[in-house]
Structure 1
C-alpha cells in the first residue's frame, strides 16, 4: 500500500468516526436533544436550537400520568432563567416548557430540573449547545 493510500484511508476513517460521534447529539437543523430517566419511572427530554439569533430551549417531562403537578426550573450557564409549575396532561401524561434564551459567547449549558410535588420524584436533564 502506498503512503498516499494509507493517508487517504486514515483520513476517511477519521471523518467517518467524527460523523458518528456528532450524529447522536444533533436531531437535524443544528438541534441538540438529550433524554434520560428521572429518579422514578418518569422520563425527561431537553432540546435546544439556534433561531433568529437566539437559542430556543425546551424541557419536557413524560410521566404517563395525567394531572400531576411539577415544579420546574431552567438554569442557563448556572443562572436561573425561568421557573414555574406545570401539570401533566393528555394521554401521554406530559408537559413541556419552551423559552427563548440569549445565545451567550462560547458553549451554552442548560439544566432543566423538575420535581413532582406529591411523590418528590426528581428529574434533571442537562444539555450543552
Structure 2
C-alpha cells in the first residue's frame, strides 16, 4: 500500500470517528439527571403521536401530543395509568402545525408504571405506551 492510500484511509477513519462522536453528542441529554422518556409513532392514518413521561415532585408528568397537520379537528383522548383511566377529554388541533397536546400530573406508583396515551377521531386512532 502506498503512502497516499494509507493517508487517505487514516483520514477517512478519523472523519468517520469524528462524525460518529458528533452524532452521539447531539443525541445525549443536556442534563445527565434528566429522566424523561419519550416515544413517537404513526397513527392509523396520516397523523403522528408523541408521548413523554418524566418525574415531577414525586409524581409523573405526562404529555401526549397528536400532530395531524390540519387545524380545527376535534379529537377524543385519554391517559391510562397501569390499566386505569387517569384523565380523558377532547382537544382541537390548532395552528400553525395542526396539533394539540395535553399535560397531566399523575401519581408515581411503586414499581414500574405503564402510561398509555390514546387519541381518536373519525376512525383514526393514535396510541403509544411507556414503561417508566
Q: Work out the CA distance in 1 between the residues paired with 2:35 and 2:116.
A: 19
SS of the residue 2:112 aligns to: coil
The superposition leaves residues 64-92 of structure 1 with CA deviations (integer Å, 9 ceiling, x where unpaired) of 00000000011000001000000000110
2:116 pairs with 1:126: no
User: TM-score with structure 2 length normalisation?
Assistant: 0.75
The superposition leaves residues 61-120 of structure 1 with CA deviations (integer Å, 9 ceiling, x where unpaired) of 00000000000011000001000000000110000010001000011101111001xx31
Runs of 4+ in 1 over 2 A off after TM superposition: none
The alpha-carbon distance between structure 1 residues 77 and 27, as it changes in their structure 2 partners (threshold 3 A), is farther
Which residue number in structure 2 is paired with residue 88 of structure 1? 93
Which residue number in structure 2 is paired with residue 9 of structure 1? none
Q: Work out the CA distance in 2 between the residues paired with 1:93 and 1:53.
A: 33
SS of the residue 1:115 aligns to: strand
Shift of 1:27: 8.0
Structure showing greater Rg: 2
2:36 pairs with 1:31: yes
- Check the 8 A contact 1:37/1:44 in 2, yes or no: yes
- Check the 8 A contact 1:56/1:100 in 2, yes or no: yes
Unaligned runs of 5+ residues in structure 1 are 1-19
- Count residues with an aligned counterpart: 105
Which residue number in structure 2 is paired with residue 74 of structure 1? 79
